[in-house]
Structure 1
Amino acid sequence: MYQIHTADHYLWENLNLDGKLVLEGGTSWGNTTQRIAEKVEEQGWKTRLISVDIDDDHFNQIQELLHGRFEELQLRQADLSRLDFMENNVIDVVICNYTLSSVNQFPLRATKALSEFHRVLKPGGQLVIMEEMPIWSVENRDYPYWSQRLRVIKSISVLKAMAHFNEIHPIDLEQTLGILGFKQVKYQEFKEIIDSEMATRFLDKRKQTLLKGVNDIENENLTKGFVEITEKLVKELELAKEFSAPAYILKAIK
């Protein structure tokens, strides 16, 4: 969902996409897709990219923006935990940026997605995952905007009986990948810089979700309170322009 800034060097270290077939797990608004395109152009790589997302709302815009910048670009609507259209051992590199926590809204769904990544990767293929740290593992006072934003999003999701994002701690992810057969698993933690425009867009989307539909709790004050909290946070983020978040990049080999 977001672009990697502070960890860009580590992200691309030993990652060569020339002549490779790359799977991007989680297209969203196309930020990571565009960053991959920029790197491909910078290096003169000939790269084929398949970008997969459960939601195809932004596909036309992304296709138009990135036309001609890859050897081949496919945008596919699919669940990352069920890549039925893809054969075994065909992908050279999987890049999954701020998406696994979304897949992990449903118990064990992230493990299924990781298993699919392992299945479609060639032997020796690379897996790169970027994620935020879980809020329970980080001192909230060090990241006030990040912490408030996540808690508001999760709380609104619970109030509307919706599944919500579940961030995975890198130690747990490392162990899971080992069980699935990945090797040379390693990760580094970073203080990532998040663009407020993207963050507030998702906050506003959650606010609209709160206002629509039936108020199952039947408490207008509760709804009104969360709307006020969300709007106040959006204004603060807009003024701040950007904020820091605790993130990590994990790499592994099949």
Structure 2
Amino acid sequence: MYKIVTAEKFLWEGINLEGKVVLEGGTSWGNTTRLIAKKVVENSWNTELISVDIDDSHFDEIEEDMREAFTKLTLRKGDLGDLYFVPSDSIDVIICNYTLSSVEQFPLRVVKALKELHRVLKKGGKLLITEEMPIWSVDTSDYPYWSKRLRIIKSISVLKAMTVFSEIHPNDLQEVLKLLDFKDIHWKEFQEKINAEMAVKFLDKRKQTLIKGANDLENKHLTDGFVELTENLVKEFEKTKEFLAPAYILKAIK
């Protein structure tokens, strides 16, 4: 969904993947998987990439798309909090792009996941994390599309008793990483670009959940209101190809 544009230089600064084993935490639609593979091919690096996600529904599409361009790719269904299939001290670089907010749908589960990432990372290995800034930490008037989208998604999730994506402030994430014995932790905030078409797909998915699911609160006006909000925002998205969102990249070393 996100394009690493403004932050790309900072993301790859000091990163050489020649002869390295890379773990991607959170495959999703494969956007970051393709980004890593593109960087590897451009630099003629000999790199092994393992991409893990708890949802494997996009794996076939990703493999089909990348089969010829990048062969050293393993897609694995799994929980970042239990990487039993990854040996300790075996990974050189870990990249998690817009994943931890999903893990943190269940409070404190991100701590378990980060502890596991520390286990599999080699001593001196690098951890790269990209995340959205929490909605309360920025002026939402600077990001009207992003703010509306996020609040609608969260509200529908609460209405349907679903888990809610929970963005982590980089200062808080930094403190957790310190407790887990990561070193040289630093982060930088950026404005990043959201692909409007992909954003619409996610919004529509939430709208369908609202329409098709049982009306637990037995209030049709409430359901209709959120459907209307979602459809109006989709119409706004149709006028633009992309919009800005506040994000940050955090780096740490084991």
Scaled to the shorter chain, the TM-score interval is: over 0.9
Unaligned runs of 5+ in 2: none
Matched-pair contact (CA < 8 Å) for 1:17–1:46: yes
Aligned length: 254
> What SS does the corresponding residue of 1:240 show, helix, strand or coil?
coil
* Contact 2:131–2:249 (Cα < 8 Å) also in 1: yes
Residue of structure 2 in register with 1:5 after alignment: 5
State the distance in 1 between where 2:3 and 2:72 align. 22
What is residue 118 of structure 1 aligned with on the other side?
118
> What is the match of residue 252 of structure 2?
252
Kindly state the Cα deviation for residue 238 of structure 1 after the two structures are TM-superposed: 1.9
Q: Secondary structure at the match of 2:6?
A: coil
Conservation of the 8 A alpha-carbon contact between 1:46 and 1:70: no
Give yes or no for contact 1:187–1:248 (8 Å, CA) kept in 2: yes
Instruction: Trace 1:1-254 onto structure 2 (pairs within 5 A).
Output: 1-70=1-70, 72-254=72-254
TM-superposed deviation, 1:71: 5.1
User: What is the CA distance between 1:3 and its match in structure 2?
Assistant: 2.4
CA distance in 2, matches of 1:179, 1:68: 42
| Structure 1, unaligned runs of 5 or more | none
**Alpha-carbon distance in 1 for matches of 2:217, 2:153:** 17
- The question of whether the paired residues in 2 share the 8 Å contact of 1:49 and 1:70 is answered with no
Secondary structure of the equivalent of 1:22?
strand
1:3·1:35 contact (CA, 8 Å) conserved in 2? no
User: Aligned partners of 1:235 and 1:40: how far apart in 2?
Assistant: 38
Q: Distance in 1 between matches of 2:212 and 2:183?
A: 46
Return the TM-score normalized by structure 2: 0.98
Secondary structure of the residue aligned to 2:2 is coil
Separation of aligned partners in 2, 1:40 and 1:138: 34
Secondary structure of 1:223's counterpart equals helix
- State the Cα distance separating 1:84 from its structure 2 match: 1.4
* Alpha-carbon distance between aligned partners in 2 of 1:93 and 1:68, rounded to the nearest angstrom: 24
Aligned-residue offset at 1:6: 1.0
Q: Runs (4+) of structure 1 moved beyond 2 Å? A: 68-71
Contact map agreement 2:26 2:53 (CA 8 A) in 1: yes
- What is the CA deviation profile of residues 95-135 of structure 1, one whole-angstrom value per residue up to 9, with x for unaligned ones? 00001100100011111111111000000000000000000
Partners in 2 of 1:70 and 1:113 — Cα distance? 27
Identical columns (%): 66
Contact 1:47 1:70 in 2 (8 A): no
Deviation at 1:68, TM superposition (A): 3.9
SS in structure 2 at match of 1:239: coil
Distance 2:191 2:206 in 1: 25
Question: Aligned AA for 1:164?
Answer: V
